[in-house]
Amino acid sequence: MNWARTVRFDGTIGGVTQRKISASLPGGSSLQFGAPHPAAGRTYGLVQGPASIEPTEVAQALPGARWYEETIIALAIEPTPADALHAIAGAFSADAGVAGVLECTVLADIFVIEFEPARTMPSLILNIADVELRRFHGYRKVTLLNPLPADILAQIAASGLQASEIAPDRILETLLEQSGVE
- Per-residue pLDDT of 115-160, as tens digits, reads 999 999 999 999 999 999 999 999 999 999 999 998 888 888 887 7
Q: What is the pLDDT of residue 108?
A: 87
Q: What is the DSSP string of 57-117?
A: HHHHT-TTEEE-SS--EEEEEEEESTTHHHHHHHHTSTTT--TTEEEEEEETTEEEEEE-T
Residue 141: beta bridge partners? 78
Q: What is the pLDDT of residue 145?
A: 96
Q: What is the pLDDT of residue 182?
A: 66
**DSSP 8-state symbol, 11:** S
Q: What is the H or E stretch that residue 175 is in? A: helix 172-178
Q: How confident is the model at residue 173 (pLDDT cuts 50, 70, 90)?
A: confident
**Cα three-residue angle 174-65-67, rounded to 5 degrees:** 60
Q: Which range among 3-7, 20-24, 57-61, 158-162 has the greatest average pLDDT?
A: 3-7
Distance from C-alpha of 49 to C-alpha of 104, rounded to nearest angstrom: 28
Task: Select from 71, 75, 81 the least CA-distant residue to 45.
Answer: 71
Task: Select from 144, 13, 167 the least CA-distant residue to 31.
Answer: 13
Residue of 66 and 172 predicted with greater confidence: 66
Using omega within 30 degrees of 0 as the cis cutoff, is the peptide bond preceding 81 cis?
A: yes
Give the 3-state secondary structure of residue 21.
Answer: helix
Cβ atoms 2, 59 nearer than 8 A: no
Distance from C-alpha of 163 to C-alpha of 165, rounded to nearest angstrom: 5
Quick check: 1 pLDDT over 70? no
Q: What is the pLDDT of residue 97?
A: 74
Quick check: 175 pLDDT over 80? no
Quick check: 176 pLDDT over 80? no
For 77-126, write each residue's pLDDT tens digit.
999 999 999 999 999 986 767 889 999 999 989 999 999 999 999 999 99
Quick check: 178 pLDDT over 80? no
Q: What is the pLDDT of residue 144?
A: 95
Q: What is the DSSP string of 134-162?
A: HHTT-EEEEEE-S---HHHHHHHHHHHHT
Q: What is the pLDDT of residue 46?
A: 97
For 66-80, write each residue's pLDDT tens digit.
999 999 999 999 999
Q: What is the pLDDT of residue 101?
A: 94
